[in-house]
Structure 1
Amino acid sequence: MATNKHRVTTPLAGNRVEFIMVGTIRVSLNLKNFSLPFSTKRNSDTAKPKPASSFRVNQFDIFFNGKRYAPQEKNKEICIEGEKERMILRPGMVLLKKFLTHDEQGWLNAQGRDSNSNSYLSRRVEIVKICRELGLGPGGFYRPSYENGAKLRLHMMCLGLDWDPQTGKYGNKRLVDGSNPPSIPERFRKLVVKAIQEAQYLIRKECRVSYAERILPSMSPDICIVNFYNNYGRLGLHKDRDETPESIQKGLPVVSFSIGDSAEFIYGDHRDVDKAENAVLDSGDVVIFGGVSRLIFHGVSSIIPNSAPKKLLQDIMLSPGRLNLTFRQY
């Protein structure tokens, strides 16, 4: 069977374009020395990568503009010195219940307040205000992600040195946007030192030892990781092990402040939720772990909604959730 076939050649910009007709059209181009009047390169081929400093992260405000439900009555604040619980959870691990509630003369006077006023929540209020101010500035709160791109279920801000969840390393700049982490306020440092001293006193008293520093060493924090968990926030079991080998070897403790809604805190020797022990961390609680407990697995399994103290919410409009500050020495 015969097939119609013919060849047509036409010039195009000094090049030969050949059409061969065999029932349908097939086009072959001799594109030597031929350039199209537009670019065929993709933007990704020519665009230069943006420096970290050109990226911006979405700012997060820990203050709440809406209406909060009334806190649960069972969490009502009672500021009675004798009712504060101090307990040793395990060697080198101490829980100071309501540590951030009792009044400290020097703290209030430093804020220019009446030393006779009943403002036992002043520590927490000041901490929240300072964190909010720092959190809205450069290096403030953002929602980080892991190396696989998954977002952490919290907002984070680093003070002193930046810690990157993807690399597990500390640095002077935040990799995601090139911002410098704010400094740790001196009043925060003093509270950390006081908390460790109170924990050491408890160890000397309960364990009847004179060398509490060997069980729970002292430290001067140069790193603070501030996390804000909303009501759905949580953090899986993990170890804080990215500090220097010297810091880890000495067992220099991690000191954790809790403010706002209560949290289910889990901890143990293994990365197994079913084997982990748990403790409820209320607003004002401080947990410290160092010495032989320095590399304990720990995490937050849940946040207890509407459990923040009513007085705290009256004094400051903290968003629903938990504000957590963890201090350590690099």
Structure 2
Amino acid sequence: MTPPVPSWIAAPVLGFAFVVAVARWILVRESAINRLVNRMLSWQVAAGAVFEAGHGSQFADATYRLFLGCGVITVACAYGISALFAGADPATARRRQRGYDAIAAVCAVIVMIIGRPADPAQPSFEWKVPLLWAIFNIPTTILAVNIIRASLRDLRVSTATLRERFVFSALFLVAVYCLYCAVSAAVHVLRGQPSDSPPTTWTQASCFSFFVISALLALPVVNTVLARVGWDRTGRDHRKLFPLWRDLTAAVPGIVLDQGTARLGSEPRLYRRLIEIQDAVQHLKQYMPPGDQRSVDGYAVRLAQAAENKLRGCAPVVAAQERGEPVVRDRAAELDDLLRLARAWPAARAAASAGALAR
């Protein structure tokens, strides 16, 4: 049997999960599934804290019963999440979860009344242990299978990023562990032996699985914080485009959208910057001197010259070969092109300014 986890390990894990739960309730609660995940984590933290607080004390039996009740609610939340992973309709998630919660409330009362199974020699042991196993492990088995299937499905997607594959792999391993625990407990129950499900102590594997789940749930918190301070990839791209946007919109101020950006997220702000740069480029093409536009550096110099011409009040170039209907492209390709142009922009702007001074 796996030995229990020492308090000096369990306490930091619970503390970390508590911080993640609080942060998620503050920063990651915009969707129904996120709120359901937050509920699940909160109930799991409460269950672990109650167990640790009463373990080895005169209140151990009472706290263990509360631990069981919290555990049932946690399983109900996890079941609802796994149903969404398996493809259940999100539009009916709230109504469906109310049904799960109602069943879980009844089961929580039952397990708190039963408490810790008594001596195997007593007659009540024969029905208490199978009942406890069924309440905890039938839904656990189903949700584990749902998560395993969903993880394997998402791992087979060719466009999945390395980070997504890591998350799906971690979820897969945790689900496999949960399935193993449920099946192992079932074998003990069928043999008439004492079962560790529900567990009477934390185990090292369970504690590690809980830490992995908490760490995975912390990733959206980190992403949200990075986005708010502008340190995510979108924020970095937004800052890289700023010198190009500043100089082009200075030459064509009329294309700047008359909307505040303080309330916009990083994605809308980046998209707005892309649109304004593209509009400025289209307008400045009529001031662009002719030349080869296959080179990014050369095109950047000509665009900088066009901006200088516009600012100096020069007349548009009559025979501008590049004018015409814009080519429709996806946003990712447009962003890549503009980022390359932004990297070449400082040198191009300096060259255009030097040419203007020479004239």
Decide: shared fold, TM above 0.5.
no
Answer 1 or 2: which has greater strand percent: 1
Q: Which TM-score band applies after superposition, normalised by the shorter structure? A: under 0.3
Between the two structures, name the one with larger relative contact order (CA 8 Å, sep ≥ 6): 1
Taking structure 2 as the reference length, the TM-score comes to 0.22
